[in-house]
Amino acid sequence: MMQKKQLCILGSTGSIGTQTLDVVRRHPDRYEVYAICAHRSIDLLIAQAREFRPDVVCIADESLYAPLRDALADMPVKVWSGADSIAEMVTMPSIDIVVASMVGYAGLRPTIEAIKAGKTIALANKETLVVAGEIICDLAVRHHTPILPVDSEHSAIFQSLVGEDRSEIEKILLTASGGPFRTYSLEQMKTVTAADALKHPNWDMGAKITIDSASMMNKGFEVIEAKWLFGVPVEKVQVLVHPQSIVHSAVQFTDGAIKAQLGAPDMRLPIQYALSFPERLKSDFPRADLFALKDLTFEEPDLARFPNLALAYEAMRQGGNMPCVLNAANEVANLAFRQGRCGFLQMSDIIRTTMTRTDFIHKPTYDDYVATDAAARRIAEELL
Ligand code: MG
């Protein structure tokens, strides 16, 4: 009999977390939920604990510890809370795979701890690689920890690279839906609201990443993510706006061949592939009907209307702690836009100015990243 893989899901109540649990639900013979963790969504976390019966349930917001403990008092489950508990939870010996799907900078520390403990990482939290890609990759090599991408584009690239030699990559072709404002003029983009931005044409995602998609910061982050995951300079990562979201990304090799992964836009497929790699598991997820597709189109991104993409390339060219600054300023601007405290285009101004005002560190340590994150957030807040 096959040993079931024990999962730890960080951010289990979010978009990736709930879809990961749906994959587990479909393969009870293969996966078991050992630990789940949420930021604040206590009701859903309780429901997940009752359905999946994990050994550990953790809530990041410590003020919710007592109600969570009381709600699960009849179950044989450890109830924990706070950032230190999350960092400890990911290292527990029974855990095989840590699904890192927390939102934003908060995912960095537990991911580092999980890598050090040698857990296979199914990585959905791209901010972790944006902020500290070099540290993460060095640690993963040192501790022989596989990092498997959950992001749909990076899963597509990863799938295209199976059986290939990475030194033969000529270019990575990273596709982008273009988001809800793909065809808007700069004038129109001045007055769009968070509600407009939250209507993503193809993907159903959390609020933070949906705004990042609309501003194309998400794609900028994914360029940086691709650099670290596949060891290519960002100059070799070409973004293609592909509104149909059927080609999830591709790799062009040194002989001119292009390999792509196609499919219906459904995050459960890349999640399942990260969990089952190198195997493929049967699924009844929706299939892409190629006959129904009128056309597959590819456009060059417009950096004048989507300056965040240019800012991400710039941050990576400068290197050091600059991508960390980019991420921190974006987290502040993204939240401010969702709260109606700044305009859509103003987000890029805040990020750009924060990048020029934060002290540059060429070779940052982990502590430097923590300090940079705090400093950049302060500067970005002052700009609002
Ligand atoms: Mg993506």
- Tens of pLDDT, residue by residue over 117-174, are 999 999 999 999 999 999 999 999 999 999 999 999 999 999 999 999 999 999 999 9
pLDDT of residue 2: 75
Q: Give the mean model confidence (pLDDT) for residues 229-233.
A: 96
Task: Kindly tell me if the per-residue pLDDT of 239 is higher than 80.
Answer: yes
Q: Give the mean model confidence (pLDDT) for residues 22-28.
A: 98
Is the domain defined by 5-150 classed in CATH 3.40.50.720? yes
Residues in the chain, total: 384
Expressed in angstroms and rounded, the spacing between residue 102 Cα and the centre of ligand 1 is 15
Expressed in angstroms and rounded, the spacing between residue 272 Cα and the centre of ligand 1 is 15
Expressed in angstroms and rounded, the spacing between residue 288 Cα and the centre of ligand 1 is 18
Percentage helix, strand, coil, to 5, in the chain? Answer: 50, 15, 35
Q: Which helix (H) or strand (E) holds 169?
A: strand 169-176
Expressed in angstroms and rounded, the spacing between residue 152 Cα and the centre of ligand 1 is 5
Expressed in angstroms and rounded, the spacing between residue 214 Cα and the centre of ligand 1 is 12
Expressed in angstroms and rounded, the spacing between residue 203 Cα and the centre of ligand 1 is 9
Expressed in angstroms and rounded, the spacing between residue 178 Cα and the centre of ligand 1 is 12
Task: Kindly tell me if the per-residue pLDDT of 38 is higher than 80.
Answer: yes
Expressed in angstroms and rounded, the spacing between residue 151 Cα and the centre of ligand 1 is 5
Here the tokens at position 225 are 């993510």
Query: What percent of the chain has a predicted confidence (pLDDT) above 90?
Result: 93
Q: 273: how many CB neighbours lie within 10 A of its CB?
A: 24
Which amino acid would we find at residue 321?
N
Task: Kindly tell me if the per-residue pLDDT of 205 is higher than 80.
Answer: no
Task: Return d(Cα 372, Cα 368) in angstroms, integer.
Answer: 6
Task: Return d(Cα 174, Cα 219) in angstroms, integer.
Answer: 8
Pairing of strands 147-149, 247-253: unpaired
Query: What percent of the chain has a predicted confidence (pLDDT) above 70?
Result: 99
Pairing of strands 97-100, 147-149: unpaired
Task: Kindly tell me if the per-residue pLDDT of 345 is higher than 80.
Answer: yes
pLDDT of residue 109: 94
Expressed in angstroms and rounded, the spacing between residue 291 Cα and the centre of ligand 1 is 25
Predicted confidence band of residue 1 (pLDDT cuts 50, 70, 90):
low
Expressed in angstroms and rounded, the spacing between residue 68 Cα and the centre of ligand 1 is 32
Q: Give the mean model confidence (pLDDT) for residues 17-45.
A: 97
Task: Kindly tell me if the per-residue pLDDT of 88 is higher than 80.
Answer: yes
Q: What are the sequence ranges of the domains in the chain?
A: 5-150, 154-318
pLDDT of residue 240: 98
Expressed in angstroms and rounded, the spacing between residue 158 Cα and the centre of ligand 1 is 13
Expressed in angstroms and rounded, the spacing between residue 222 Cα and the centre of ligand 1 is 7
In contact, 31 and 9? CB cutoff 8 Å: no
Predicted confidence band of residue 198 (pLDDT cuts 50, 70, 90):
confident
Expressed in angstroms and rounded, the spacing between residue 252 Cα and the centre of ligand 1 is 19
Expressed in angstroms and rounded, the spacing between residue 50 Cα and the centre of ligand 1 is 31
Task: Kindly tell me if the per-residue pLDDT of 106 is higher than 90.
Answer: no
Q: Is the peptide bond before 278 cis (omega within 30 degrees of 0)?
A: yes
Distances (CA, A) of 290 to 246, 262, 295: 9, 10, 9
pLDDT tens, residue by residue, 298-340? 999 999 999 999 999 999 999 999 999 999 999 999 999 999 9
Mean pLDDT of the chain: 95
Expressed in angstroms and rounded, the spacing between residue 205 Cα and the centre of ligand 1 is 10
Strands, sheet with 247-253, edge to edge from the N-terminal-most edge strand: 237-241, 169-176, 247-253, 258-262
Expressed in angstroms and rounded, the spacing between residue 239 Cα and the centre of ligand 1 is 12
Task: Kindly tell me if the per-residue pLDDT of 247 is higher than 90.
Answer: yes
Expressed in angstroms and rounded, the spacing between residue 218 Cα and the centre of ligand 1 is 7
Expressed in angstroms and rounded, the spacing between residue 245 Cα and the centre of ligand 1 is 10
Q: Give the mean model confidence (pLDDT) for residues 61-89.
A: 98
Expressed in angstroms and rounded, the spacing between residue 320 Cα and the centre of ligand 1 is 24
pLDDT of residue 58: 98
Q: Give the mean model confidence (pLDDT) for residues 281-310.
A: 94
